[in-house]
């Protein structure tokens, strides 16, 4: 239970760990992370990072929820929390990673969030290239792959190809097959 002042940080670490398990498919961990982050938010008013993890956890619960209306409500609640977190701390790399990945995974036809994913992935790519953030080379490559795919989804094939070409110059062996499949399937 989150109660003592400052104890929320230990609970937050636990919630972040549960969040990672949820990303990897653990439905129980998704619910536990969401519930824990909901409590932590009450103690840490206006903490952008807590809000971002809460938003991402809400989206993870939505992913697994059987009821379509509740799935939509949870996803929208998560997006709102993520947008507020970015608004509060626009240069926070961790928050941008969370929002970019959530926006990227939501179906464009229902949520219209691919441009948000592009904004966040471009921020992360630019930060890496300008040595302003400390993401790994592998993360950078993943962001380039996803950025190219996001461009493809909204019909900007030239930008997609330019982005993917940059990726293939860095690490062609690992990503060539993925890029070829995305080009063939129109980014889906």
In which band, very low, low, confident or very high, does the pLDDT at 187 lie, cut at 50, 70 and 90? low
In which band, very low, low, confident or very high, does the pLDDT at 4 lie, cut at 50, 70 and 90? low
- Looking at residue 5, what is its pLDDT? 59
Residue 145 · residue 179 · CB < 8 Å: yes
The per-residue pLDDT for range 51-78, each reduced to its tens digit, is: 999 999 999 999 989 999 999 999 999 9
Query: What's the pTM value of the predicted model, to 2 decimals?
Result: 0.92
The per-residue pLDDT for range 70-129, each reduced to its tens digit, is: 999 999 999 999 999 999 999 999 999 999 999 999 999 999 999 999 999 999 999 999
Domains for the chain: give ranges and CATH numbers. 1-89 (no CATH), 92-188 (1.25.40)
Angstrom distances, CA of residue 130 to CA of 121, 126, 140, 159: 14, 6, 12, 20
- Looking at residue 1, what is its pLDDT? 45
Summary count for the chain: helices (H), strands (E): 9, 0
């Amino acid at each position: 239970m989150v109660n003592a002042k400052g104890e929320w940080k230990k609970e937050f670490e636990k919630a972040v760990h549960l969040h990672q398990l949820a990303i990897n498919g653990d439905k129980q961990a998704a619910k536990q992370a969401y519930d824990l982050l909901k409590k932590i938010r009450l103690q840490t008013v206006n903490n952008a990072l807590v809000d971002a993890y809460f938003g991402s956890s809400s989206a993870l619960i939505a992913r697994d929820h059987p009821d379509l209306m509740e799935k939509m409500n949870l996803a929208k609640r998560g997006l709102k929390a993520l947008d507020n977190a970015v608004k509060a701390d626009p240069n926070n790399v961790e928050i941008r990673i969370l929002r970019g990945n959530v926006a990227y995974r939501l179906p464009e036809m229902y949520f219209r969030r691919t441009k948000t994913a592009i904004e966040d992935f471009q921020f992360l790519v630019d930060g890496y290239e300008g040595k302003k953030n400390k993401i790994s080379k592998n993360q950078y490559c993943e962001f380039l792959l996803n950025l190219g795919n996001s461009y493809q989804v909204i019909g900007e094939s030239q930008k997609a190809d330019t982005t993917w070409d940059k990726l293939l110059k860095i690490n062609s062996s690992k990503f060539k097959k993925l890029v070829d499949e995305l080009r063939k399937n129109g980014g889906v």
